[in-house]
Structure 1
Amino acid sequence: MSERASVPKEERTDEEQAETETVDGVATGAESVVAGLQNAGVEHLFGVQGGAIMPVYDALYEHEEMDHITMAHEQGAAHAADAYGIVRGKPGVCLATSGPGATNLITGLADANMDSDPVIALTGQVPTDFVGNDAFQETDTIGVTQPVTKYNKFAESSDTVGDSIGEAWALANEGRQGPTLVDLPKDVTQSETDVAPGLPETPDTYNPPTEADQVIVQEAADALANAERPAILAGGGVIKGEACEELRAFAREYEIPVVTTMPGTGSFPEDDELSLGIAGMHGTGYGNLTISNSDVLLGIGTRFDDRLTGGIDTFAPDADIIHVDIDPAEISKNVEADYPLIGDAAVVIEQLDEALTQSPPAGEWREQCQTWKEEYPLDYEMPEDEPLKPQYVVEKYDEVTDDDCIVAAGVGQHQMWAWQYWTWKKPRTWVTSHGLGTMGYAVPAAIGAKVAAPDQEVVAFDGDGSFLMTAQGLSVAVREGLNITIVVLNNEAVGMVRQWQDGFYEGRRMASEYPWIPEFDKLAEAFGAQGLRLEDPDEVEETIQQAREYEGPTVIDAIIDPTENVYPMVPSGGDNARFALNEEHLDQL
């Protein structure tokens, strides 16, 4: 440190204090880490304390402008940061100590990596001289996380660590978003420095594409202009790329039907006449028929993953594929692109708009799509003498909430029911685990979403199996006074596994049913939350209202029909045009 900086603050003149303010702010590597977060405009952090990360927490002590939410488990910290990033559109931050703290983040980082969600993880590490010696709580965090992060870095110097934080933030945020990690050895965060970090910047070598090749754009536009059965498939990249307004304007201008993927849900309003709902294994029948019968398919920001496509050979078999994506690695990775358009989603949509000279001659096609919509509606039966149906609970909750209500979900049957029976009208309101399919996501995600958007209503739909994995997060919601509701659609089973066992394993229900589970309403009360039990269909609206009026977290233990399954359904690797609407249909596929 400089000689002046070592003078006690109270003994310095005003001029000296002004000159050394920046130096004081980064007297150690840990304080440089915090300064890097400040430069990035970070407002909230989710983490769990521990020995190796303690210097960073100590540096945060004086920074009340950054709100730290202490989570009950590091996996929850990663999921909360992930959900925060989804809702805000900018990176969420999670912290953990070395060893088990860092490894507990892995599931959340892998989840964010699959879904291209912006997250920054800061992990403590043993002192540099101890690395490789199997020190207490040591693990090779860089090696372990490299496959599931967009970028990770081992901090080597207190002089550069703050800029590493800025670089990690910028890389998580720019181009194709994703998780990044900086590993922070304790000697680096404790060492002195007088170097203040700059603003977040990506490396000079990082130049994600913006505009697509104009020649290919024109060829794609010509194909669309002449299409008799055009369709748009809107993926998560539409939302990540802030291209929802461009998508809506484009689809309406040229009257092209729109189907959304699960990550793309909310990018196009489902109450629009052009909306054909959702696609894939549990997508709408009419959405899947639209894709399967199209002659030109414009896919924007989608990975064309297996849950969407089913069998590649039968996916949109007659369509020319226009694929828009910011990541060249996604082009033709799964589905061969006839017109590869590499660039920013919003910019490429505008390029296509400028290149199009006419609307496609697709009047009869739009009528056909509407006919499919009428023939294959999402539907279920709820006889008076049968148990509560999960679809009814979702529908009733949707009816009483505003369009900007944020819905989080775990993974399983409950996730599909929430996705199918909620009417999605706005982006960044559907928060769930898509690619990795992580059970236990809902509770910490609801926390992260509420912190990100305190003025928006947040409800999480969870399953009993999924809820049991991260229920300890209730302690965080109670402590922080978060007004969220968690609806556990309780069928006393790992329902999706049980459904597959019934459908494809001759009903051998191995390890998918629970002979005993807790009473989740009582468990919620033990945590200090409001607990409600729901069994009678006549009490659904009253129970929902009671949850919404309560100032704080509520758990609704909704005891649903254990025989209810998720339909429509396309068997794994199957033809999306041959979907089952019930168990009898499934047996015939």
Structure 2
Amino acid sequence: MSERAQKPHADEVESEAESETRTEPEGESHVEPVETGADAVVAALKNAGVETLFGVQGGAIMPVYDALYSETDMNHITMAHEQGAAHAADAYGIVTGDPGVCMATSGPGATNLVTGLADANMDSDPVIALTGQVPTNFVGNDAFQETDTIGVTSPITKHNIFSDSPHDVGDDVGTAWALAKEGRQGPTLVDLPKDTTQNETDAEPGEPTTPDTYNPPEEADAGIVEAAAECLAEADRPVILAGGGVIKGEASDELRAFAMEYEIPVITTMPAIGAFPEEHDLSLEWAGMHGTGYANMAITMTDAMFAIGTRFDDRLTGGVDSFAPDAEVIHCDIDAAEISKNVEADYPLLGDAAAVIEQMDAAMPGAPDVAEWREQCDEWKEQYPMEYDMPEDRPLKPQYIVEQFDEATPDGDTIVTTGVGQHQMWACQYWMFSEPRTWVSSHGLGTMGYGLPSAIGAKIAAPDKEVVCFDGDGSFLMTSQELSVAVRENLDITVVVLNNEAVGMVRQWQDGFYEGRRMASEYPWIPQFDKLAEAYGARGWRLEDYDNVEETIEEAIEYDGPSVVDVIIDPAENVYPMVPSGGDNGLFALNEDHLEEI
């Protein structure tokens, strides 16, 4: 080796030193010029203010990942499975209100996103998916890892784009991001052929904007608002039914002010949990199949319902014919397709939730006389309390575990995520929510396995908040590999597995409606989840009795990193109240015997 090769020349050292001191002015970041379609994709994400991406690398998406290599303003979280990436992005969008971003390669990478996109679509959650695709000249030839991603995802996305030009791809990504966020939120997808992202372009993408033809409504028709306000003011038994659109539309403050000014009882749907503080006297909590008895009674007896941002799904309504049978329905929604789709609206208010609530407030001729009605609602609270027996000779009660975690964490400042099943119901029944964007769950699609990856997304979205994930043993088994991500990223999340060695909700339905034939719902063997957690590098605890519940919960929450508490609960415990599928909300069962009588 020559001396020159071993030691830089003095002139070179001086040149390098000068180069190192030539920094960008303070407060400004260096913007790399767009040279390829992949650069344009990254530039579009930066224009949108994206800071975090969730994904899994692969061949067809590799050019975009390569463009991210030197990017310092965005943090990429490599997930264990693409479904986990979609759920994490979904939760990120729920907590922040801005679209979460997930990435995957073509073929199986894209199809593995499908469950998460379908979930986001059902719940109107803002997500943008970027999927790799085979080069355009290979499309349709059954190339390696080719799938018609646009065809597969068209029914489950708000909008998707096959981006076949490197000059347009940046703006395509910006459009997808804007559409995911504006109006009725939802998932969008951009399919990125490899030649689109590899080919040269100098086309800088603009700011993310929706198409000129996309004009979501703002304020509702003034005449209908005036008539609706008069109806509500003259009602004897009014209720406000707040749906997930209240939170999506950043209308929680307006909802609270309106309800408190006119002293109208508030019921939420499951997606709207946290939109109104559940400890407030006006709160009847949430209604539907496993909602509170007092919420379902109020829905059954109301004579005027102001429904905001809800699609009246079957888990809320039960039988549509018996839903709020005496009520005049005022339905506010930003999506015209939802109004009178399931429940006929007497006063259709097409518009933004916050704007329409303010319109209603301005139009109210006075407050309704609700003194007797509120007394009746309070009587129902006393008649159908959310109580449970806790005999010492029985295994741990899941309701008690949820309550203890609630007591041990900061009020209103803890995010709860769940999988789907009995544990999900217990979590939203026995945790008292007071703030929006603190309840993160799968509602319309009912996706088991949602809990852990969504906890990852939620924690990254809100690193200063406590995140507790309630999962079931069946749900946890579906995505437990994402623990590797939580450990790698050192995320301080607490996973509580309410373990009854069964797919509990299926088992409950088999007992209630299939004469106890428990086919494929019970596990003859499952792993010890505390030990599984330790194998991943997380901390694990196991709870089997009441003696050390509080101590274990405190240790798990205080542990700085991912922890799993395997809670062995009473396998016979079921979720009540319960309205049988398609049933009358006012005819809810409080126990097994009552269910048989309905």
Equivalent residue number for residue 554 of structure 1: 563
Call closer, same or farther: CA 1:94–1:382 in 2, change over 3 Å.
same
Equivalent residue number for residue 527 of structure 1: 536
- Are positions 1:566 and 2:589 aligned together? no
Q: Which blocks of at least 5 consecutive residues in structure 1 are unaligned?
A: 1-9
RMSD: 1.6
- Of 584, 588, 592, which aligns to 1:579? 588
- Of 148, 157, 160, which aligns to 1:152? 160
CA shift digits 1:318-372 (9 cap, x unpaired): 0000000000000000000000000000000000000001101111001000010
Give the TM-score normalised by the residue count of structure 1: 0.96
CA shift digits 1:255-306 (9 cap, x unpaired): 0000110001000000110001110000000000011100000100001000
Alignment of 1:76-475 (within 5 A): 76-402=84-410, 403-475=412-484
Equivalent residue number for residue 7 of structure 1: none
Counterpart CA distance in 1 for 2:147 and 2:392 is 57
Counterpart CA distance in 1 for 2:289 and 2:331 is 21
Structure 1 residue 65, shift from structure 2 partner: 1.3
Counterpart CA distance in 2 for 1:141 and 1:345 is 33
The AA in structure 2 aligned to 1:502 is D
Q: State the SS of the aligned residue for 1:406.
A: strand
Counterpart CA distance in 1 for 2:152 and 2:389 is 48
CA shift digits 1:226-282 (9 cap, x unpaired): 000000000000000000000000000000000110001000000110001110000
CA contact (8 A) 1:23 1:194 kept: no
Q: State the SS of the aligned residue for 2:200.
A: coil
Counterpart CA distance in 2 for 1:380 and 1:332 is 38
Task: Between 534-543 and 206-215, report the one with greater CA deviation.
Answer: 534-543
Equivalent residue number for residue 501 of structure 2: 492
Structure 1 residue 156, shift from structure 2 partner: 1.2
Structure 1 residue 538, shift from structure 2 partner: 2.3
Counterpart CA distance in 2 for 1:24 and 1:92 is 24
Q: State the SS of the aligned residue for 2:129.
A: strand
The AA in structure 2 aligned to 1:287 is A
Equivalent residue number for residue 12 of structure 2: none
CA shift digits 1:475-517 (9 cap, x unpaired): 0000000000000000000000000000000000000000000
CA shift digits 1:177-206 (9 cap, x unpaired): 000000000001000001100000000000
- Of 470, 492, 495, which aligns to 1:483? 492
Equivalent residue number for residue 56 of structure 1: 64
The AA in structure 2 aligned to 1:558 is V
- Are positions 1:509 and 2:518 aligned together? yes
Q: State the SS of the aligned residue for 2:547.
A: helix
Counterpart CA distance in 2 for 1:320 and 1:549 is 50
Counterpart CA distance in 1 for 2:164 and 2:195 is 9
The AA in structure 2 aligned to 1:151 is H
Percent identity of the aligned residues? 75
Counterpart CA distance in 2 for 1:241 and 1:540 is 39
Counterpart CA distance in 1 for 2:215 and 2:332 is 17
Structure 1 residue 219, shift from structure 2 partner: 0.5
Counterpart CA distance in 1 for 2:90 and 2:175 is 18
Structure 1 residue 24, shift from structure 2 partner: 4.7
Task: Between 300-309 and 535-544, report the one with greater CA deviation.
Answer: 535-544
Structure 1 residue 539, shift from structure 2 partner: 1.4
Counterpart CA distance in 1 for 2:183 and 2:546 is 47
The AA in structure 2 aligned to 1:576 is N
Call closer, same or farther: CA 1:58–1:513 in 2, change over 3 Å.
same
Q: State the SS of the aligned residue for 2:131.
A: strand
Equivalent residue number for residue 6 of structure 2: none
Counterpart CA distance in 1 for 2:477 and 2:164 is 40
Structure 1 residue 22, shift from structure 2 partner: 9.4
Counterpart CA distance in 1 for 2:265 and 2:526 is 45
Counterpart CA distance in 1 for 2:522 and 2:105 is 36
Counterpart CA distance in 1 for 2:595 and 2:194 is 57
Q: State the SS of the aligned residue for 1:537.
A: coil
CA shift digits 1:117-172 (9 cap, x unpaired): 00000000000000000000000000000000000000111111001110000000
Counterpart CA distance in 2 for 1:286 and 1:469 is 35
Equivalent residue number for residue 3 of structure 1: none
The AA in structure 2 aligned to 1:144 is V
Between the two proteins, the alignment pairs up a number of residues equal to 576
Structure 1 residue 25, shift from structure 2 partner: 2.3
TM superposition outliers: structure 1 runs of 4+ over 3 Å: 21-24
Give the TM-score normalised by the residue count of structure 2: 0.95
CA shift digits 1:36-84 (9 cap, x unpaired): 0000000000000000000000000011210000000000000000000
Counterpart CA distance in 2 for 1:463 and 1:409 is 9
Counterpart CA distance in 2 for 1:74 and 1:488 is 23
Q: Which blocks of at least 5 consecutive residues in structure 2 are unaligned?
A: 1-15
Call closer, same or farther: CA 1:22–1:382 in 2, change over 3 Å.
closer
